[in-house]
Amino acid sequence: MTTVRLRSEQPADGAGIRRVLGDAFGRPDAATPAEVRLVEALRGSTAWLPELSMVAEAAGEIVGYALLSRVTVEPSGTPALALGPVAVRPDRQGLGYGTDVVEAVLDAATELGESLVVVLGSPAYYRRFGFQPAVRLGLTSPWSGLGSPWQALVLPTDTGDAPAPPPGEVSFPAPWSLV
């Protein structure tokens, strides 16, 4: 496999990220996918954490993307992160780039001292990173009614512990209403 470079988004990456998202979530009617609009809306918001918008680059091209952005657990106001969108260019899927870029962004969040990540997605995919049903941690959201796709991951601390987060409702900022 071509060597992959995993790094935070740089100012020149906007078009490459948009292309990966557009291709991976492409719609038959060619409308701009909600995931493209979500990233652009989050990028201009207080939920955006520049280091946690990460690309996988292979042979000088952006082939994968993963984003963590700010959410809070209410009523405690505990900061947490939402994972998504995650995307790999269709012609490069199944080669490990998705796993690489998700692991990289989760490692970066751990380094920053973040403690909790939530995601809405396929349990068959996110289980490999250690995600579990969020309801087991007492976490709800507008999507918890969907069941198993609503997942959470407690990140390890410096000492290797993964303390249970406070239970509550995860509050997503306005751009998430686009999805």
Ligand X SMILES: CC(C)(COP(=O)(O)OP(=O)(O)OC[C@H]1O[C@@H](n2cnc3c(N)ncnc32)[C@H](O)[C@@H]1OP(=O)(O)O)[C@@H](O)C(=O)NCCC(=O)NCCS
In the complex, which residues of this chain contact ligand X (CB under 6 A)?
24-25, 86-88, 93-99, 121-122, 124-125
Nearest approach in angstroms of CB 131 to ligand X is 11
Nearest approach in angstroms of CB 93 to ligand X is 3
Phi and psi at residue 41, to the nearest 5°: -70, -40
Give the pairing of strands 78-88 and 61-74: antiparallel
**Residue with smaller CB distance to ligand X, 53 or 168:** 53
Give the pairing of strands 150-154 and 116-120: antiparallel
**Residue with smaller CB distance to ligand X, 95 or 170:** 95
Cis omega (within 30 of 0) on the bond before 85?
yes
Nearest approach in angstroms of CB 33 to ligand X is 9
Nearest residue to the partner ligand X, using Cβ: 98
Contact 42, 66 (CB under 8 A): no
**Residue with smaller CB distance to ligand X, 10 or 122:** 122
**Residue with smaller CB distance to ligand X, 86 or 170:** 86
Nearest approach in angstroms of CB 13 to ligand X is 17
Phi and psi at residue 105, to the nearest 5°: -75, -35
Nearest approach in angstroms of CB 136 to ligand X is 19
Phi and psi at residue 70, to the nearest 5°: -75, 135
The H-or-E segment that residue 142 falls in is: none
**Residue with smaller CB distance to ligand X, 120 or 137:** 120
